[in-house]
Structure 1
Amino acid sequence: MNYLAHLYFSDLTPDSCVGQLLPDCMAQRQLPDSVSDELARHIALHQFIDRFTDQHPDVLALKAQFQPPYRRFAGVLIDVFFDHVLAREWQQWHVQPIELFAHQVYAALADYQGPENDRLNALRHALLSHRWLPGYAYPLGVERALQGLDRRSRFKTPLAEAHQLLPDMYPEIATRFSSFFPELRAAVAAQKQHQ
């Protein structure tokens, strides 16, 4: 899952929001020996969400739909496209309007005081300055997200053009998401009870 979906499972506190972002920005070995319990729980939850997503039959079936040169990047594309579906259908999945949810996330990210590296710092400031979470609901938001991923890549990718796949693939992506996301929510709720 990408940023919006991971943040969906935060508790809207500084450490929970950053814990849902940090594993994409900092290797486990870079973390200090001592972090808050909340940050540690959400780092572990982020990793659980990634494992659950990568192994889910709906995600595996979607990955098989991508042709070269996109097949190699199918996991990344599904993450972004699922964020698009989540943002478009937000009212079905969350009690708050997406704008209010995003405002609370931005406030939490601004208040964060824990361990950080340049990559996490850049991501926090990009989220705060560009306020792009509700933008995932729109094709332009998806295009910008994919262009950003392409820019940050260490090698040449086709991600900047991959938004062109979305119109044709959207019906299947939305169908797969509607099957997958309730199962992810249930799995996360069970995981939180055991943490």
Structure 2
Amino acid sequence: MNFLAHAWLSRHGSDDFLYGNLIADGVKGAHLESWPTAVAAGIRHHRRVDAGIDHHAEVLQLLQMAPRAQRRYTGIALDLVWDHFLASRHPDATLVERCYRVLGEREAPARLAGMVPVMIEGDWLQRYADFDFTCRAIAGIGQRLRGPNQLAALTPWLRDEYANLEAAFVTLWPEMQHRFSE
């Protein structure tokens, strides 16, 4: 769950729009009528960004390089890797504090309710600057999935491919900003 990347791309919008971007992974379905208009717009924006990133040439190339056994999980790991590069290359404490405030003032969807307070308390968004922390977060997500922890198994590959991941980010991020900044 790449909270920081989605926050960056929606930082110029209202708090409701930002909130929608931050919680979108916890919202299922296409019917968003029960959400305030700006929150629903943020959820839709998040989903457009995800689709754009998932189909970007850099991401598709990395997916082909990933170990076959973990390939279907690689996109999840890459989302957090993008947050790592944002936190380490473009730290923005003001944006992080805004995210924590916006998330802390509202009730998170059930799928995120247990994680959001822990994320805020542990200052995950700034700690993603530490790649070891990011890898632990990736492995932690893998613990919540069924079966063997394929995300934990993927972290050695992420470490080995760090330079390629960083090069992909350097290409990917400006394009995402140009295409999706609100």
Scaled to the shorter chain, the TM-score interval is: 0.7 to 0.9
Q: Aligned equivalents of 1:73 and 1:172: distance in 2?
A: 18
Number of residue pairs aligned between Structure 1 and Structure 2: 181
In structure 2, do the counterparts of structure 1 residues 121 and 14 end up closer, same or farther at CA, with 3 Å as the change threshold? farther
Q: Aligned equivalents of 1:56 and 1:29: distance in 2?
A: 23
Pair 1:175 & 2:167 matched: yes
Structure 2 residues not aligned, in runs of 5+? none
Q: Aligned equivalents of 2:71 and 2:155: distance in 1?
A: 14
CA displacement at 1:29 relative to structure 2: 5.5
User: Does the Cα contact within 8 Å between 2:87 and 2:128 map onto a contact in 1?
Assistant: yes
Correspondence for 1:188: 180
C-alpha RMSD of the superposition: 2.1
- State the TM-score, normalized to the length of structure 1: 0.82
Correspondence for 2:47: 47
Which stretch shifts more, 97-106 or 165-174? Answer: 97-106
CA displacement at 1:63 relative to structure 2: 0.8
Correspondence for 1:94: none
CA displacement at 1:27 relative to structure 2: 0.6
Q: Aligned equivalents of 2:158 and 2:137: distance in 1?
A: 13
**Secondary structure of the corresponding residue to residue 44 of structure 2:** helix
CA displacement at 1:187 relative to structure 2: 0.8
In structure 2, do the counterparts of structure 1 residues 26 and 54 end up closer, same or farther at CA, with 3 Å as the change threshold? same
In structure 2, do the counterparts of structure 1 residues 98 and 87 end up closer, same or farther at CA, with 3 Å as the change threshold? same
For 2:6, the aligned partner's letter is: H
Correspondence for 1:93: none
Q: Structure 1 vs Structure 2: percent identity of aligned residues? A: 28
**Secondary structure of the corresponding residue to residue 69 of structure 1:** helix
Q: Aligned equivalents of 1:55 and 1:29: distance in 2?
A: 20
Question: What aligned pairs does 1:110-129 form with structure 2 within 5 A after superposition?
Answer: 110-112=104-106, 116-129=108-121
Q: Deviations over 1:50-98 (max 9, x none)?
A: 11001111111111110132222121122122221222111xxxxxx43
Question: What aligned pairs does 1:21-100 form with structure 2 within 5 A after superposition?
Answer: 21-28=22-29, 31=32, 33-90=33-90, 97-100=91-94
In structure 2, do the counterparts of structure 1 residues 137 and 25 end up closer, same or farther at CA, with 3 Å as the change threshold? same
Q: Aligned equivalents of 1:155 and 1:82: distance in 2?
A: 25
In structure 2, do the counterparts of structure 1 residues 176 and 19 end up closer, same or farther at CA, with 3 Å as the change threshold? same
For 1:101, the aligned partner's letter is: L
